[in-house]
Amino acid sequence: MEIEELKTVIEAIVYVAEEPVRAEQLKEVFPEESFDKIELALQKAMDDFNARNAGMWIREVAGGFRMTTRPEHHEHIRAYLKTKPGARLSMAALETLAVIAYRQPVTLAEILAIRGKKSSGALHTLLEKKLVSIVGRKPVVGRPILYGTSREFLMHFGLKDLAELPTLEEFAQMAEEKA
């Protein structure tokens, strides 16, 4: 298949997909095409689509490609849908989540040490919202549960992967400036 044609088909697939579309999934659809070519077409589908500056855009989220509306249109979209912004995570939950994201896999006791306060309530919320999951047990006395972020976490914060997060050192500089 010509790359241009492949690109348009992929665009259509990204449109109908409920989840971010990954190159591996497309390989199953186009078994005769090489993986490299599929990746290239996928990238091209995103670049060309976004170059149109349309109301939608394709972005890389949680290891895949996803078509969404643009954030700058949110007011009008909300007015049309007649919805209000959804419930936000509390600052306590976000702080706990930040500790887990940067220190994973991490135990509840380690979270407590960093935050200087009990975090079980916040952790419970995060588990319930599936932003955090149990990733194992630490091989020490008591075998405490280890927590890590989930794919849902990447989706929720629109991250391609964990590497897209700024490094903690960048926050350290900010911290010293602020303090």
Partner 1 sequence: MATDQEPNPGIEAPESLAITVRLDAFEGPLDLLLHLIKREELDIWNIPIARVTEQYLNYLRMMQDLNINLAAEWLVMAATLIYIKSRMLLPPDPQPAETGGEAREDPRAELVYQLLEHQKFKNAAQMLYTREEVENAIWCKPPAEVLEGEQNVVAVSLFDLIKAFHEVVRRFEEAQQAMEVEQEEVTIEQKMGDVRRLLMVHDTILFSAFFEQSRSKRHLIVTFLALLELVRLREIWLYQKRIFDEIFITKGKADSSKA
* Cβ nearer to partner 1, comparing 30 with 171: 171
47, with CB counted inside 10 A (0-12, 13-18, 19+), is exposed
Element (H, E) at 12: helix 3-16
Sign, CA torsion 130/131/136/139: negative
What is the phi/psi pair of residue 57, to 5°?
Answer: -145, 160
* Residue 174 near partner 1 by CB under 8 A: yes
* Residue 129 near partner 1 by CB under 8 A: no
Size of the site for partner 1 (CB under 8 A): 45
Q: How far, CA to CA in Å, does 91 sit from each of 38, 88, 95, 119, 167? A: 41, 9, 6, 12, 20
* The total number of residues written for the chain in this structure: 179
**Amino acid found at 73:** H
* Cβ nearer to partner 1, comparing 5 with 19: 19
Among 9, 108, 114, 135, interactor with partner 1 by CB under 8 A? 114
* Residue 91 near partner 1 by CB under 8 A: yes
* Residue 105 near partner 1 by CB under 8 A: no
**Amino acid found at 86:** G
Binding to partner 1 by CB under 8 A, coded x per residue (else -) over 45-74, reads ---------------------xxxxxxx-x
Q: Which residues bind partner 1 (CB under 8 A)?
A: 15-16, 18-19, 66-72, 74, 77, 85-86, 88-89, 91-92, 94-95, 97-99, 101-102, 114-118, 156-159, 165-166, 168, 171-172, 174-176, 178-179
